Amino acid sequence: MKTVYVVKVGGNIIDDELKFAAFLCEFSELPSPKLLIHGGGKLATQLASRLGHPTKIISGRRVTDEETLKIAIMVYAGWINKTITAKLQAFNCKAIGISGADGRCIPSVKRRPEPLDYGFVGDPLLSEVDVSFFSALFGAGLVPVISPITADESGQLLNTNADTVASVLASAMSKAYHVKLVYCFEEKGVLKNKHDKLSVIPKIDSKYYEILKSENIVAEGMIPKLDNAFQARQNGVGSVIITNGSGLLNLTKTNYHAGTTID
């Protein structure tokens, strides 16, 4: 089976212009086939604030009313997606910027409003991901850049968690490819001590994960990210790594270890 890199880049890297340019440069040199899923960062919140629209967060997740959805689509699928695409092309990487709604490649359902109503939020349907769509793009020499917007059957656009999109997409692709899933965020890996940037945990298995959670070493935003990472492993994704943006190319080397491996 061919190896495909499924890389997710988070908001904190996107928000830092220099870090982000370095990341895109590294990504452009990664062997193909590959794809990039991007988050949103602070830009959607900033635009909402300029428009005088309050951002509502419940349990760390944005509540997406109609206006917030429109802002998310404009910022994620418009501004960030096209900016990444054009920058990658300047690095000779033939990027095509899409969302999970395009070609119905990542169909989703609107989340049920109980117990909490998150509004226009989509949960991607793993069994309905169209792997042949991505294979066709790879076949044309293209590198998909995917914004975390999806649509349901009725054509309703939905805001979707980018870590979840990456996990679901990597899982679906693992039936046809050897998938290396990489979550890039602002730290070198999952930290044992959040005040020590070098205290990267090299490997986490599900037993150790329970210990880390019980000892409150991983908490808040890291928990959904790690849940998505473990879900991908359970779905058959060959390799799942959490690391920072720089050093992405090291992942192509054998016997080289970087970041935190999820096992």
- Of positions 58, 86, 116, 198, contacts a second copy by CB under 8 A: 86
| Of the residues 32, 65, 79, 126, which one makes contact with a second copy according to CB under 8 A | 79
Q: Is residue 67 a contact point for a second copy (CB under 8 A)?
A: no
CB of 52 to a second copy, least distance (A): 8
Nearest-approach distance from CB 223 to a second copy, in angstroms: 30
The neighbouring-strand residues paired with 97 are 145
Is residue 70 near a second copy by the rule CB under 8 A? yes
Largest Cα span, the chain: 51
CA distance 182 to 8: 6
DSSP 216-251: TSS-TTHHHHHHHHHHHHHTT-SEEEEEESTTGGGG
CA atoms of 159 and 204, how far apart (whole Å):
29
- Name which position in 62, 87, 188, 233 contacts a second copy (CB under 8 A): 87
Question: Smaller CB distance to a second copy: residue 157 or 262?
Answer: 157
156 vs 235 by CB, closer to a second copy: 156
Using the rule CB under 8 A, which residue among 85, 171, 228, 243 binds a second copy? 85
Which of 102, 84, 86, 229 lies closest to 167 in space, CA to CA?
229
- Decide whether 96 or 109 has the Cβ nearer to a second copy: 96
**39 contributes a contact to a second copy by CB under 8 A:** no
Instruction: Give whichever of 107 and 259 is closer to a second copy, judged by the CB atom.
Output: 107
The DSSP annotation for 128-161 comes to G--HHHHHHHHHTT-EEEEESEEE-TT--EEE--
Among 35, 37, 73, 237, indicate the residue that binds a second copy (CB under 8 A). Answer: 73
CA-wise closest residue to 179 among 219, 132, 235: 235
Name which of residues 94 to 133 contact a second copy (CB under 8 A): 94-99, 101-104, 132-133
176 contact partners, CB below 8 Å, separation of at least 6: 1, 131, 135
Least separation, in Å, of the C-beta of 186 and a second copy? Answer: 24
Residues 142 to 201: which contact a second copy by CB under 8 A?
142, 149, 151, 153-157
What is the rounded distance in angstroms from the CA atom of residue 186 to the CA atom of residue 138? 29
Size of the site for a second copy (CB under 8 A): 44
Query: CA 2 to CA 223: how far, in whole Å?
Result: 31
Nearer of residues 76 and 230 to a second copy, judged by Cβ? 76
- The H or E element that residue 54 is part of is none
Rounded distance between C-alpha atoms, residue 11 and residue 25, angstroms: 17
The binder of a second copy chosen from 28, 45, 68, 81 (CB under 8 A):
81
User: Binding residues for a second copy, per CB under 8 A?
Assistant: 47, 50-51, 70, 73-79, 81-83, 85-90, 94-99, 101-104, 132-133, 136-137, 139-140, 142, 149, 151, 153-157
